[in-house]
Amino acid sequence: MECDKDIITHLEKLLNEVVNVNSKFNLFKFITERQNDSLKELNLAPAFFSLILDSLINNVIISIAKIYEPCTRSSGSMDKLFNKIEQNIKNISEKNIDNNIINKHRDYISNKKDIIYNLFIWRDKHFAHLDKSIF
């Protein structure tokens, strides 16, 4: 069915984004943890590693924020995926997916709203925009 393909495509792209951002975060974490025990190696190219760390964390914050954006701001977010599923629930061939499952996921995310809000603030103030206090 056409709606199944659209939802599966959306889900695959979202999962690829999650895997990608997770890999970048793990690389950021690995390099940061090596700053103590591999200082000699990191000091061979300090500007390079500083730039890489800055780029990785910038990308991680912006990418995670995109995943959690409301559907009105991002067409690739989880919220948009939930809406697509709800709008086509009768046409979805997978019988394990229903409104209860969607609501459980929405509730879980809603319970993390303070953390997600702080993520958006962090993104907006430090990574995606030049705030007056920083500039």
Q: Which residue from 131, 112, 14, 102 is spatially nearest to 63, judged by alpha carbons?
A: 14
CB burial string 118-132: b at 16+ within 10 A, e below: ebbeebeeeeeeeee
pLDDT band at 94 (very low <50, low <70, confident <90, very high): confident
The tokens of 21 are what?
Answer: 């951002």
Tell me what pLDDT residue 106 has.
94
pLDDT tens-digit readout, 107-134:
999 999 999 999 998 888 877 766 565 5
Q: Which of 58, 67, 59, 57 is nearest to 16 (CA)?
A: 67
Task: Report how far apart, in Å, the C-alpha atoms of 28 and of each of 23, 31, 45, 54 are.
Answer: 9, 5, 16, 9
Please give the Cα distance from 110 to 87 (Å, whole number). Answer: 20
C-alpha–C-alpha distance, residues 8 and 110, integer Å: 24
Please give the distance of CA 71 from its chain centroid, rounded to a whole number. 14
Looking at residue 75, what is its pLDDT? 77
pLDDT computed for residue 119 by the predictor: 92
- Tens digit of pLDDT for each residue in 17-52? 999 999 999 999 999 988 888 878 878 888 888 899
CA–CA gap between residue 111 and residue 108 (Å, rounded): 5
What's phi and psi for 110, nearest 5 deg?
-60, -35
- pLDDT tens string 49-93: 889 999 999 999 999 999 999 877 777 799 999 998 888 888 776
